[in-house]
Every structure is written in C-alpha cells, then in structure tokens.
Amino acid sequence: MNYRSFAILAVVAITTLTSCNDKKEEPQAVDFVDDVKVALAENGRIQLNQLQWTRQPAKFEIKEDTITITSAPHTDLWQRTYYHFQNDNAPVLQMKTREKFFSFVVKTDFTQSHHRFDQCGIVMYLDSENWLKGSVEYENEEFQHLGSVVTNNGYSDWATTAIPADIKTMWYRFSRREDDFCIECSNNGIDFSQMRICHMPAGADEIRFGIYACSPEESSFTAVFSNMKITECMWKAHDGQQPDAE
C-alpha cells in the first residue's frame, strides 16, 4: 500500500469514527397519561394519589376517598381587576386531560372556615393569568358568598350570591365542552344549579383541573374534599337557537 492509499483510508476511518461519536440518540417519546380517560375506564373513579400539586400546601392528607388541605394565611388566587393586586399562591391539586367532553364532581366540607374570605372549591388552573375557580367564601356569622371567578389574560372577574352562613358543605360539577366550561353547584350532589358558563381561549387543548383551598387574610382552616369522580359530560349540547352560519 502506498502512502496516498494509506492516507485516504485514514481519513475515511476518522470520518466514520467521528460520525459514530456525533450520533445522538433520538429522544424517547413519553406516552401522555390522560387522567380523565383513565378515570372513565375505571367507572369514574379517580386515583387520588396520581393527582399533582401545582402548589403544595404545608399540611395536607390524601386518603383512599378523601383529601384534606389546611390553608395557610395570605394565600389566594386573584389577578388585577378592581383591587389592582395579584395573588397567585393558593395550593392547587389537579389532574390533566386532553379529553374535550367530560364532567368532574367533588364534595367540599368547609365546616372549619371562620375568617373572612376563607374558601375551598374547584379550580382549573392553567397558568397565573388563565384560570377559573368556584367556591364558598366565608364572610361572617350571618352569610357567606357562593361564587366563581374566571381569569382570562391576567384579569379576574367575580360573580357571587349570598347564602346562609350555616351551610357547611357544597358539591360542585365542572364540565368541559371543548374550550367552553360550566360550573354548577348542589346541596345534595344530585340536583345541580348552573353558576357560570365561560370561554377560555387558553383551555383549547390540554387542561389541568381539580381542587384548591386558601385563606387570603390572617387565617387558616382545614377543607375536606370527597366523592370525587369523572363522568360523561353532563352539560349537554344546546338544543335551542342554532349557531350563526360562518
């Protein structure tokens, strides 16, 4: 073998070795575990230990069929409107889904709430500027506020009605129809009344939803969540006026 042939073989060998060393492994695709689909396959039963904290409280307990969250003082969810402050530190426990049509039901027990604005309920928290919640907020020994907040693009609104202070439990049903959402409430878990219909552009694809509890002022209480389940969408398609032609 002459020198020229040897040099060519050496270059080829080096190039091949370099190519092998530079070859990067393709990232392995991670299967998306859709919590709603899993629950529907289990007759609506939610695996509580699979829920994920968006923010974890200092004290909580997850049992087979109940979750307790003890709120910390000065925790809340609110963005800008009217008060001009931004509160974004309430503990939130959620599941994730891409399912477009379903309902989520939960019972809340807030017997221990005792200070102004103590609250617990349902939530769909996508990010700090896009979320919704439904809850009962303690006001005083005479009445409290049953209401909902929808936050789109960093601005919150609040719709409420006064209810007697001796009501200590409330059921909620959160329903999704694509990127439209409905919040309902019930005293018995059977007969639900509509609280709010809303649209959320940020909720068009994957969403996260679940429960929360907080105490915006100098307070703390323990909220109890139970009877959580996923069902087919109980918010049925509208059967009245037809959509405008596009």
The answer to whether the beta carbons of residues 116 and 215 sit under 8 Å apart is: no
Q: Please, what are the domains in the chain? A: 65-225 (2.60.120.200)
pLDDT tens, residue by residue, 172-226: 999 999 999 999 999 999 999 999 999 999 999 999 999 999 999 999 999 999 9
What is the tens place of the pLDDT at every residue in 130-164? 999 999 999 999 999 999 999 999 999 999 999 99
Distance CA 219, CA 238 (A): 42
Q: What distance in Å separates the CA atoms of residue 110 and residue 97, rounded to the nearest whole number?
A: 28
| pLDDT given for residue 64 in this prediction | 86
Query: Distance between CA 112 and CA 109 in Å, rounded?
Result: 8
Does residue 19 have a pLDDT over 50? no
Share of the chain above pLDDT 70, in %: 88
Quick one: which of 39, 91, 98, 100 has its CA closest to 70? 91
pLDDT at 20: 45
Q: Are strands 130-138 and 119-127 parallel, antiparallel or unpaired?
A: antiparallel
Least confident of 90-94, 99-103, 239-243: 239-243
Q: Which residues contact 108 (CB under 8 A, 6 or more apart)?
A: 120, 121, 135, 136, 169, 170, 171, 172, 211, 223, 224, 225
Evaluate if residue 22 carries a pLDDT over 60: no
